[in-house]
Amino acid sequence: MQRREFVAGLGGATAWMAAGRAQPVQRLPTIGFLSTTTPSSTGSWVAAYEQRLRELGWIKGQTIAIEYRWAEGHPERYAEFAAEFVRLKVDVIVTTVPAVAALKQATSVIPIVFVLATDPVGGSLVTSLARPGGNITGLSMQATDLASKRVELLRGVVYRLERLAVLGNITIPQVVLEMHEVEAASAKLDLQIIRLEIRGADDIAPTLQALKGRAEALYVCADPLTVINRAQISALALGARLPAIYGTRECVDVGGLMSYGTSFSDQFRHVADLVDKILRGTKPGDIPVEQPIKFELIINVKTAEALGLTIPETLLATADEVIQ
Mean pLDDT of 30-42: 93
Per the CB < 8 A criterion, the answer to whether 39 and 70 are in contact is yes
| Beta strands 258-261; 217-220: pairing state | unpaired
Question: What is the phi/psi pair of residue 68, to 5°?
Answer: -90, 140
Same-domain check for residues 176 and 305: yes
According to the model, what pLDDT value does residue 43 have?
87
Whether the predicted pLDDT of 4 surpasses 90: no
According to the model, what pLDDT value does residue 17 have?
47
Mean pLDDT of 256-269: 93
Same-domain check for residues 150 and 189: yes
Same-domain check for residues 102 and 221: no
Same-domain check for residues 178 and 302: yes
According to the model, what pLDDT value does residue 233 have?
97
Among 132, 127, 83, 135, CA closest to 110: 135
- Order of strands, edge to edge, in the sheet holding 296-300? 192-198, 163-169, 217-220, 244-246, 258-261, 296-300, 321-323
Same-domain check for residues 184 and 240: yes
Per the CB < 8 A criterion, the answer to whether 232 and 167 are in contact is no
Rounded CA gap, 37 and 226, in Å? Answer: 10
According to the model, what pLDDT value does residue 60 have?
94
Same-domain check for residues 213 and 317: yes
According to the model, what pLDDT value does residue 294 have?
80
Rounded CA gap, 15 and 268, in Å? Answer: 49
What percentage of the chain reaches a pLDDT higher than 90?
75
Rounded CA gap, 237 and 216, in Å? Answer: 11
Question: What is the phi/psi pair of residue 255, to 5°?
Answer: 115, -5
**Is residue 4 in some structural domain?**
no
Same-domain check for residues 185 and 252: yes
Facing residues of 298 across strands? Answer: 259, 321
Which of the four pLDDT bands, split at 50, 70 and 90, describes residue 24?
Answer: low
Same-domain check for residues 234 and 255: yes
SS3 call for 159: coil
Question: What is the phi/psi pair of residue 191, to 5°?
Answer: -95, 140
**Is residue 153 in some structural domain?**
yes
Average pLDDT, the chain: 90
**Is residue 245 in some structural domain?**
yes
**Is residue 45 in some structural domain?**
yes
Rounded CA gap, 183 and 164, in Å? Answer: 9
Domain carrying residue 240:
143-261+296-323
**Is residue 187 in some structural domain?**
yes
**Is residue 2 in some structural domain?**
no
**Cα-trace Rg, the chain:** 25
Amino acid identity for residue 126 in this structure: V
Same-domain check for residues 183 and 203: yes
| CATH number (domain holding residue 232) | 3.40.50.2300
Per the CB < 8 A criterion, the answer to whether 119 and 143 are in contact is yes
Whether the predicted pLDDT of 238 surpasses 50: yes
Same-domain check for residues 34 and 104: yes
Give the range among 13-27, 97-111, 113-127, 189-203 with minimum mean pLDDT. 13-27
Same-domain check for residues 255 and 268: no
**Is residue 8 in some structural domain?**
no
Question: In the chain, where does DSSP find H-type helix?
Answer: 3-21, 43-55, 78-88, 100-106, 143-157, 173-188, 204-209, 224-228, 230-239, 249-253, 264-279, 301-306, 313-318
Same-domain check for residues 192 and 137: no
Cα dihedral: 195, 197, 203, 207 (round 10): -10
Rounded CA gap, 306 and 184, in Å? Answer: 30
Which of the four pLDDT bands, split at 50, 70 and 90, describes residue 15?
Answer: very low
**Is residue 181 in some structural domain?**
yes
Whether the predicted pLDDT of 25 surpasses 80: no
- Looking at the structure of the chain, the number of domains it has is 2
Per the CB < 8 A criterion, the answer to whether 148 and 237 are in contact is no
**pLDDT tens sequence across 139-181:** 988 766 789 999 999 999 998 899 999 999 999 988 998 999 9
